[in-house]
Every structure is written in structure tokens, then in C-alpha cells.
């Protein structure tokens, strides 16, 4: 209950205080390239329930025809505004809407697409999906430059599935087993520092 109260207060306050910035970003995305302001994608949430996550669109419409569900280095699909938004994680701000409506939390394991969740070991899946997914978590901080890391691989998806994803899942399990409001506040603070740096 305390975590949910924190999520509601933080997301509502964030949407209210950041509303001028959100409007400016929306206008930039809209005029920078053809297409909608928001990117919505099916993700797997708590107890395996699917939901549609909200982000500011950072890619061209070509993204819809691509089967690749990870971003690698200087992906040609990323728009001019998209590079900036991704660098400072501003594309994630619309997820405050998902937090407010109860599909996500401020802090929790990052929600993954169904294709990759299907590859989770059964015991890990049950732990990770026992809580609401979050906007930020320990894995997001440690793997903030994930796309650059994958760009160094000859087979990015293979590297993601067999190296990056297991390491991130270990952080997710660690979070679920240790979760507390104090830990959430620490992760929020560390996320802010990582973005600033």
C-alpha cells in the first residue's frame, strides 16, 4: 500500500510539474518527423498481464516494419529529437501515465516484450513478474549504455539474450527480494545522478 501511494503521488506530481516540458517535447517530436507523438508497445507486466507502454516516439515510422526489438548503437531508425530524448531518458516520461493508471511503478523491473519474457527461466519469471514493472531499476542504471554495448557485437540479439538479459534479470531478482520504499528512493536518486552525469 505504501509503495502504491508513493507511485500515485510521485506520478501525479510529476505529470503536473513537468506538463510544460511534456508539451514542448510532444511538439518537437511531432514536427521533427512524420508520425504520432507517442510510441506504444505491448509489454508484460505484473502476473504476466500484458499492457501497452507509453513513450515519446524516438524512431521513424520504419520502426513498425522492423522485427528487431532492441536498439543497437547509432540505429538509423532514431530521429534527431530521438537521440536527445534517449540520451537524457526523456522519452520515458510518458510512463508516468502508466504508473498513475496502475500498470507500472516508479521503481521496478523494466517491462520486457513478450518475445523475451518467454525466454526467462521459469523460476526467474515468477519472481520478476510478481511485482509491477518500473520506469527505472538497478539494471537500468548498470546498463544505461546497453545499445552502445550491443553495437560492439557481431550478433546483437544473441548478445542481448545470452549475456545482457541474464545479467539484468539477476538485478531484477535482487530488487524483488530486497524491495522497500527506502531502496526505491535510493534507486530514484541514483537514476537522477546517472542522467546528470
* 105 vs 123: CA distance, rounded Å: 22
pLDDT value at residue 66: 53
Is the model's pLDDT at 65 over the cut of 60?
Answer: no
pLDDT value at residue 143: 84
Give the total number of structural domains in the chain: 1
pLDDT digits (tens, 9 = 90+) for 104-133: 999 999 999 999 999 999 999 999 999 999
pLDDT value at residue 138: 92
pLDDT band at 144 (very low <50, low <70, confident <90, very high): confident
pLDDT value at residue 61: 74
**Residue 64: domain span:** 2-196
CA distances from 88 to 41, 52, 66, 84, 131 (A): 20, 22, 24, 6, 26
Taking residues 73-89, report their average pLDDT. 85
* 147 vs 133: CA distance, rounded Å: 21
Is the model's pLDDT at 63 over the cut of 60?
Answer: no
Amino acid at each position: 500500500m505504501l509503495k502504491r501511494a508513493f507511485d500515485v503521488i510521485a506520478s501525479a506530481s510529476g505529470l503536473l510539474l513537468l506538463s510544460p516540458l511534456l508539451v514542448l517535447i510532444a511538439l518537437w517530436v511531432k514536427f521533427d518527423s512524420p508520425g504520432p507523438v507517442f510510441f506504444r508497445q505491448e509489454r508484460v507486466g505484473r502476473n504476466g498481464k500484458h499492457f501497452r507502454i507509453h513513450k515519446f516516439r524516438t524512431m521513424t515510422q520504419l520502426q513498425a516494419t522492423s522485427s528487431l526489438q532492441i536498439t543497437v548503437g547509432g540505429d538509423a531508425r532514431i530521429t534527431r529529437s530521438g537521440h536527445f530524448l534517449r540520451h537524457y531518458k526523456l522519452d520515458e516520461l510518458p510512463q508516468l501515465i502508466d504508473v498513475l493508471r496502475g500498470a507500472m511503478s516508479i521503481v521496478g523491473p523494466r517491462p520486457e516484450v513478450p518475445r523475451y519474457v518467454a525466454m526467462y527461466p521459469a523460476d526467474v519469471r515468477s519472481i520478476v513478474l510478481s511485482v509491477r514493472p518500473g520506469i527505472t531499476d538497478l539494471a537500468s542504471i548498470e546498463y544505461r549504455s546497453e545499445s552502445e554495448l550491443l553495437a560492439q557485437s557481431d550478433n546483437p540479439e544473441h548478445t542481448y539474450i545470452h549475456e545482457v538479459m541474464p545479467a539484468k534479470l539477476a538485478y531484477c531478482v535482487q530488487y524483488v527480494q530486497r524491495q522497500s520504499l527506502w531502496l526505491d528512493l535510493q534507486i530514484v536518486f541514483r537514476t537522477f545522478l546517472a542522467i546528470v552525469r
